[in-house]
A = this chain, B = another copy of it.
């Protein structure tokens, strides 16, 4: 006979508790702060509600806010516990409030549901995470731009199909990696804006017969606006996560390419670059090995983030309107997808910073056939139609002469070509993305600080 647990919402079986709440207890650690903040805004709004008698007096409100602040501080030092019986952070916070404040704690759930809470917690969490990811991604892109600028004149055999193809430069390669991240930053901004809407006031998805001021809570929490339709506020869960993961997965896609390139470029047979030793690992059996494990993990983790996106999408697909518990399973892939992305961005940042360029090996890579296209175009310059020039060179591949690679790339001096990179333009666009993140961070923290009446995120 299985033990039954009494929870706030009924008695349930131990196995069911584990099956339904299992990893939530661990994952919800990252949500404690947002749950408290969300509750603070909710209580502030309830206390302003024009009903008689008021739900919370001014003093009661300040008592509740004080306790919530206390929980936040405790949680930062690891002294706030979510038990299996709580099931989740929401009930854990309510339990503490009730134990400290009695009836005040039992009132706090008025006009909201747990769905409201998890929805707002996840959106506040996503807000902070997306801002951080933007900052870190922009920072990695800047590292790449610096690298690109520094090595803009170092020739590199450009490859297609993994084979040497045409003259290129280290600068062009690094710049391409940076611009890929710039595109991804646009996707992150889009995800940020979609996420930046407050779901509170939805309750079970159908509203409540009380004068809930949804604009007010939205403002208090620093959101750009409330989600209008309360059923959509509930139903957007899952979809929001999917959009954010999609943006994250694009970052991983860029990183996976950079990682794959570096694996190729550091093969002993090419040795264009050398990876920083402290970012390599050895083999347990082969004494000579210095392996690019980190790069391989970046590549593999791109698959993990995609899979997390697939999980979330597939969970939501064909799901009927109104809350369904399926959504709970979206939480882990959502949070892990973000963590993986951020860790990968940071490790790649270190990687690029420590990367050494081996100019000799790069020059050695320029075999004459790399210049075949240049030669054909030279013939075009003399008036031969391109197809004829192409065929002519093809028929005389053995006669191709070695050209000075530095000279070759200097001739490709046009917009965005190896010799024509506009670093400032890219830096400016990166700065815009950084500034966006910076402003959003500032106004978000200001709103929370004002709500709690303490500096945020310091809390003291």
Contact = CB atoms under 8 A, between A and B. Distances in A.
Interface string A75-112: 00000000000000011000000100001111111111
A259 B257 CA distance: 19
Nearest to A184: B239
A37 interface: no
16 contacts: A8-B284, A18-B343, A20-B293, A114-B285, A158-B204, A161-B324, A162-B320, A163-B268, A176-B321, A208-B417, A210-B381, A228-B415, A246-B246, A269-B365, A296-B326, A297-B328
A8 to B, nearest CB: 7
Interface string A243-260: 100100110111011011
Contact of A179 (B167, B232, B369): B232
A219 to B, nearest CB: 13
Interface string A213-237: 1110000000000111111110110
A457 interface: no
Contact of A302 (B291, B318, B321): B318
Contact of A385 (B107, B112, B286, B416): B107
Contacts of A213: 414-415
Nearest to A308: B307
Interface stretch (A62-70, A129-137, A185-193, A432-440): A185-193
B206 A260 contact: no
Contacts of A347: 15-16, 19
Nearest to A110: B386
A257 B166 contact: no
SS class of chain A's interface: helix, strand, loop or mixed? helix
A164 interface: yes
Interface in A324-348: 324-330, 333, 343-344, 346-347
Contacts of A175: 228-229, 231-232
A453 interface: no
Interface in A195-212: 201, 203-212
Given A311-B303, A416-B233, A166 B204 contact: yes
A17 to B, nearest CB: 9
A293 B293 CA distance: 28
B204 A286 contact: yes
A143 interface: no
A264 interface: yes
B287 A387 contact: no
Interface stretch (A28-36, A391-399, A442-450): A391-399
Given A8-B284, A180-B235, A373-B204, A416 B13 contact: no
- A-B pairs with the 8 shortest C-beta distances? A207-B417, A307-B311, A9-B282, A106-B385, A300-B326, A176-B231, A106-B387, A300-B329
Contacts of A325: 161, 281, 291, 293, 296-297, 300
Contact of A408 (B164, B209, B294, B297): B209
A383 B386 CA distance: 69
A404 interface: no
Given A161-B296, A372-B288, A377-B110, A8 B416 contact: no
Contacts of A201: 414-417
B260 A319 contact: yes
A296 to B, nearest CB: 4
B414 A292 contact: no
Interface in A396-423: 397, 400, 408, 411-412, 414-418, 420-422
A352 interface: no
A92 B194 CA distance: 43
Contacts of A206: 158, 165-168, 172, 412, 417-418
B411 A209 contact: yes
Given A104-B385, A207-B414, A253-B313, 4 more contacts: A109-B386, A168-B231, A227-B416, A286-B372
Contacts of A397: 287-288
A455 interface: no
